[in-house]
Chains A and B, each alone.
Chain A
């Protein structure tokens, strides 16, 4: 049957020889097998013994994913422990597409969800975009900042929504709203640019970064250190279990030097005026209050606002986001006269007793241009103390001529003008104090003598920030001793509760050849508020503590010299002078130095002065006495400054200041 039937010549087979041949060949085959096995063993021992560590590392790299855990941001308090910025639980609605099903099921789910939570078209568009970009097993946020009511509605019906979850996270919250909004600042989403500038490892797991104010300047302290979870994930990235947890460290809590009460009094006292108030403790440079009006509600940035609201905020002509205290540049006007007087004494160009004659106007030799005093009728013979007290422009024109711009530049930059104070807040402006060199370089012109006169009374090119004015005031109060202004009072370790105080940074002392010159000027500043003809007399009246002050008004619209001066009330609001006021108190033992600028306030003494007085009252007395003298209970009711022309005219009680039109 066999197909391979034996052929005749093959029939003579030697079966023994064939068997022996087979066995020899089988021996060769065994050798072949062993050779192959040696190859395999060699390779396996290379992989499993020699290179074991390498492959073990690679296997771990395959499966381990590091998931950052965001640290809790530090809290911000004022000096008394009032909360300025905190973290609040926020509820986020998340949907896991894998558990929902196909896109039809998803649409149906969204439709049903919209009955229990508010869903805008923007929410849904953003959600669908995110769903496309992320793995289907991962929860995708649909709505953030759910209200408690929405959370409750969801909880009732949650069994109807498989794949839908509510996750609690933390968001920033500013309990005082607009109070100190510029100072505290706010947080927002980290931009690409910010991430590039920073060390990315410090922002792992974080989505927010300080955008302005202390939130921005102390970002590194507030942020803390991210922790990490090491997750085992499969080849498709699906997390399976937690392998390890590395603790992070929460951000430090900050105690600011500001006093919320004083801050609130200042903000209320500003009323509807735009402008700024800066109050510094001259003994250590701590900022007690820093107001920029109008303010804004930082909470808007946290909850998010629609484009229209945001662009309205940006386009608002009163620029609420702009921090006038640090960035607003104003001509200082007469508020620099005390510093000018000190310069005159220091350089020996005048003595306190030297007088100049004020006839209401003067002109430079060889020029017909008239330089007016604010008081058209003139002050007559004026010495230094009268010049400061009554703010005589003619006195300071003559002083400026005697000093010359170079010595003025030297003296005034010594008080900090033209340089940033170096405060621990972002975006501070340096301002400008002009010099011959500045004018040559930037204006390509020589310095004209007439400009010296304008600069001498704080006009012309001079531009200062309210902070710089407060700093100058503090340095006069401390007779040359100075500290760098700062808002950070102390920091606290959130776990050990150990508080580290910020040490004040002393600045080089302004040394005068004759220390008694300080007394001369400070006494003159006290007389501003204590004598009937003082431009700030109404401020010092009834004050239980002595106040050294100087009023100022900064010209906004330049008037032709021959143009008849109108009183401020007759001008349209936007052309009225800025009202300025600097003061420190108690004059004999200074604890607070204040600078106030009320834009278009007109009168320094009557508009800016009361604001400064209320701030000082609150800080020194613990309540606002000014304007409440008849109220025996001394409630902390604040008299807001009223904008003339916008509101009802000022009542008779402050009319006394009208006469003391200051300049």
Chain B
């Protein structure tokens, strides 16, 4: 049924738009709906940032600067037509892969993991670049193939996904690796990967789970065990998740009110302004506030899928769909970990967590989405 709605959206003939601000924006390749939703979430994020960082305006300003930078990058990227990404994609992919290898060799160890590459001028995580390169490359690759993909195509696609994912997982940064895999995987899935392959792959992963378990890092294994019983080690590995659940649960339906949360302000909640900011939000805004935020995120994802449905070729469709779904996975993994549904992996809450390069790379992705939407040629249906 949902598929039918999307289909009808895709078939709908584009009517002549009324002139106005949104048209003006569209002429600059900016999608007004995405822009409004992104700005809304980012603003909510800055308010909650202020509360989570102990009423520090400096943190909010620096977050705002990052969002602004991200918006500029987004607008810049949106100016390029999608065909250009298709051309650049393999080169960007190759370049990023080299950077990832360089990071592993020369990387700067922050918090016990080699993620950062210090280029003298700026320090950044090449894995963030891969968040752009991966969906673009897989979409571009599948664009050239007959779909649904056949065995050879699948193997090649898995290789494109697997190599950088393995490099990132080795840093070790399981969260980003998962997002990279999700980006490539969703492109493959939306490209029409046959169900028998999907079911087979899931069965294979299930069978391989015990082997994977032994290959996980100690801290990763501990996180999974902690998830099953956070109270077993309330001062150690379970502390984050226990304090986070206390924050969320104590918020109740209506929340304690902005700036009135105690868990973050009194420093019981670790990583309150970064990965665990959702707990601060839930404590202060309550269940109702959480629903509002979820609706905002879902609206973004919906807009992405709408853009994908209306895209004009396979590359653009796969790219937009993959980016939208990756964004959703971003949200799901972060909230899932903060509420104790998923193991703790370092995934920030998009546009809300205080984060270095992640906000910029995320907005760059939205720049591509906007490009896809605003570079459509008027075609007769």
* Interface core residue of B1, B148, B249, B291 (most chain A CB under 10 Å): B249
CB of A648 closer than 8 Å to a CB of B: no
Contact with B along A237-255 (1 / 0, CB 8 A): 0001000000000000000
CB of A41 closer than 8 Å to a CB of B: yes
Whether B318 lies near A59 (C-beta < 8 A) is no
Contact with B along A36-54 (1 / 0, CB 8 A): 1101110111011101101
The docked-state distance in angstroms from the alpha carbon of A86 to that of B1 is 87
CB of B286 closer than 8 Å to a CB of A: yes
Contact with A along B142-184 (1 / 0, CB 8 A): 0111111000000000000000000000000000000000000
Whether A25 touches B313, Cβ cut-off 8 Å, given contacts A13-B146, A47-B339, A62-B262, is no
Chain A's closest residue to B295 (CB) is A37
Whether B146 lies near A49 (C-beta < 8 A) is no
CB of B68 closer than 8 Å to a CB of A: no
Whether A49 lies near B252 (C-beta < 8 A) is yes
CB of B335 closer than 8 Å to a CB of A: yes
Whether A233 lies near B308 (C-beta < 8 A) is no
Within residues 317 to 351 of chain B, which ones have a CB less than 8 A from any CB in chain A?
317-318, 321, 325, 328, 332, 335-336, 339-341
Whether B294 lies near A41 (C-beta < 8 A) is yes
- Which of A1-9, A175-183, A391-399 participates in binding chain B? A1-9
* Interface core residue of B144, B318, B328 (most chain A CB under 10 Å): B144
The docked-state distance in angstroms from the alpha carbon of A41 to that of B282 is 12
Cβ contacts under 8 Å, A30 to chain B? 2, 6, 302, 305
Whether A23 lies near B332 (C-beta < 8 A) is no
Whether B6 lies near A26 (C-beta < 8 A) is yes
| Chain B at the A interface: SS class | helix
CB of B207 closer than 8 Å to a CB of A: no
CB of A310 closer than 8 Å to a CB of B: no
Whether A63 lies near B10 (C-beta < 8 A) is no
CB of B131 closer than 8 Å to a CB of A: no
Whether A26 touches B305, Cβ cut-off 8 Å, given contacts A49-B287, A59-B246, is yes
Whether A54 touches B249, Cβ cut-off 8 Å, given contacts A5-B144, A30-B2, A234-B266, is yes
The docked-state distance in angstroms from the alpha carbon of A60 to that of B263 is 9
Q: For this complex, into which size category does the number of interface residues on chain A fall?
A: 35 or more
Whether B339 lies near A59 (C-beta < 8 A) is no
CB of A192 closer than 8 Å to a CB of B: no
- Which of A14-22, A280-288, A413-421 participates in binding chain B? A14-22
The docked-state distance in angstroms from the alpha carbon of A29 to that of B328 is 10
The docked-state distance in angstroms from the alpha carbon of A56 to that of B249 is 7
Whether A47 touches B245, Cβ cut-off 8 Å, given contacts A3-B90, A15-B314, A234-B266, is yes
Selected from B3, B146, B294, B325, the residue in CB contact (under 8 A) with A27 is: B3
Whether B147 lies near A55 (C-beta < 8 A) is no
Within residues 235 to 249 of chain B, which ones have a CB less than 8 A from any CB in chain A?
243, 245-249
Selected from A6, A15, A39, the residue in CB contact (under 8 A) with B341 is: A39
Whether B332 lies near A40 (C-beta < 8 A) is yes
The docked-state distance in angstroms from the alpha carbon of A47 to that of B186 is 31
Cβ contacts under 8 Å, B321 to chain A? 22, 25-26, 29
B78, chain A: closest CB distance, angstroms: 21
CB of A599 closer than 8 Å to a CB of B: no
Whether B339 lies near A29 (C-beta < 8 A) is no
Selected from A13, A48, A55, A233, the residue in CB contact (under 8 A) with B290 is: A48
CB of A10 closer than 8 Å to a CB of B: yes
Cβ contacts under 8 Å, B263 to chain A? 59, 62
The docked-state distance in angstroms from the alpha carbon of A353 to that of B21 is 135
Selected from B146, B192, B248, B267, the residue in CB contact (under 8 A) with A44 is: B248
Selected from B146, B248, B266, B328, the residue in CB contact (under 8 A) with A33 is: B328
B134, chain A: closest CB distance, angstroms: 14
CB of B76 closer than 8 Å to a CB of A: no
Chain B's closest residue to A57 (CB) is B250
* Interface core residue of A4, A24, A234 (most chain B CB under 10 Å): A4
Contact with A along B1-35 (1 / 0, CB 8 A): 11110110010000000000000000000000000
CB of A236 closer than 8 Å to a CB of B: yes
Within residues 176 to 235 of chain B, which ones have a CB less than 8 A from any CB in chain A?
186, 189-192
B321, chain A: closest CB distance, angstroms: 6
The docked-state distance in angstroms from the alpha carbon of A10 to that of B147 is 8
Chain B's closest residue to A42 (CB) is B341
CB of B253 closer than 8 Å to a CB of A: yes
A24, chain B: closest CB distance, angstroms: 5
Whether A44 touches B308, Cβ cut-off 8 Å, given contacts A2-B86, A62-B246, A62-B268, is no
B271, chain A: closest CB distance, angstroms: 13
Whether A40 touches B246, Cβ cut-off 8 Å, given contacts A4-B140, A27-B3, A29-B186, is no
Whether B339 lies near A22 (C-beta < 8 A) is no
CB of B77 closer than 8 Å to a CB of A: no
CB of B141 closer than 8 Å to a CB of A: yes
CB of A436 closer than 8 Å to a CB of B: no
CB of A12 closer than 8 Å to a CB of B: yes
A54, chain B: closest CB distance, angstroms: 7
CB of A235 closer than 8 Å to a CB of B: yes
Whether B249 lies near A48 (C-beta < 8 A) is yes
Selected from B145, B268, B301, B309, the residue in CB contact (under 8 A) with A235 is: B268
Selected from B2, B192, B268, B294, the residue in CB contact (under 8 A) with A22 is: B192
The docked-state distance in angstroms from the alpha carbon of A22 to that of B190 is 5
Chain A's closest residue to B9 (CB) is A23
CB of A232 closer than 8 Å to a CB of B: yes
Whether A48 touches B282, Cβ cut-off 8 Å, given contacts A2-B86, A56-B252, is yes
CB of A190 closer than 8 Å to a CB of B: no
Cβ contacts under 8 Å, B325 to chain A? 29, 33
Cβ contacts under 8 Å, A60 to chain B? 250
Whether B298 lies near A37 (C-beta < 8 A) is yes
Whether B294 lies near A58 (C-beta < 8 A) is no
Whether B250 lies near A58 (C-beta < 8 A) is yes
Whether A23 touches B3, Cβ cut-off 8 Å, given contacts A29-B325, A48-B249, A58-B250, is yes
CB of B45 closer than 8 Å to a CB of A: no
CB of B87 closer than 8 Å to a CB of A: yes
Cβ contacts under 8 Å, B253 to chain A? 48-49, 52
Whether B192 lies near A62 (C-beta < 8 A) is no
CB of B367 closer than 8 Å to a CB of A: no
A498, chain B: closest CB distance, angstroms: 43
CB of B70 closer than 8 Å to a CB of A: no
Cβ contacts under 8 Å, A43 to chain B? 339-341
CB of B126 closer than 8 Å to a CB of A: no
Cβ contacts under 8 Å, A5 to chain B? 144
The docked-state distance in angstroms from the alpha carbon of A21 to that of B145 is 14
The docked-state distance in angstroms from the alpha carbon of A44 to that of B341 is 10
Whether A236 lies near B267 (C-beta < 8 A) is yes
A601, chain B: closest CB distance, angstroms: 70
The docked-state distance in angstroms from the alpha carbon of A63 to that of B250 is 13
Selected from B7, B86, B246, B294, the residue in CB contact (under 8 A) with A37 is: B294
Whether A12 touches B287, Cβ cut-off 8 Å, given contacts A27-B6, A41-B294, is no
Whether A47 lies near B7 (C-beta < 8 A) is no
Whether A235 lies near B7 (C-beta < 8 A) is no
CB of B82 closer than 8 Å to a CB of A: no
CB of A31 closer than 8 Å to a CB of B: yes
CB of B135 closer than 8 Å to a CB of A: no
B260, chain A: closest CB distance, angstroms: 11
A-B contact pairs, 6 of them (CB 8 A): A1-B87, A5-B144, A26-B308, A44-B339, A52-B251, A52-B253
Chain A interface residues (CB < 8 Å from chain B): 1-7, 9-10, 12-13, 15, 18-31, 33, 36-37, 39-41, 43-45, 47-49, 51-52, 54-56, 58-60, 62-63, 232-236, 240
With A18-B314, A29-B321 given, can you name 5 additional A-B contacts, CB distance below 8 Å? A13-B314, A23-B3, A23-B10, A49-B287, A52-B251
The 9 A-B residue pairs with the shortest CB-CB distance, nearest first, are A55-B249, A27-B3, A59-B250, A3-B90, A234-B266, A4-B144, A235-B267, A48-B287, A21-B192
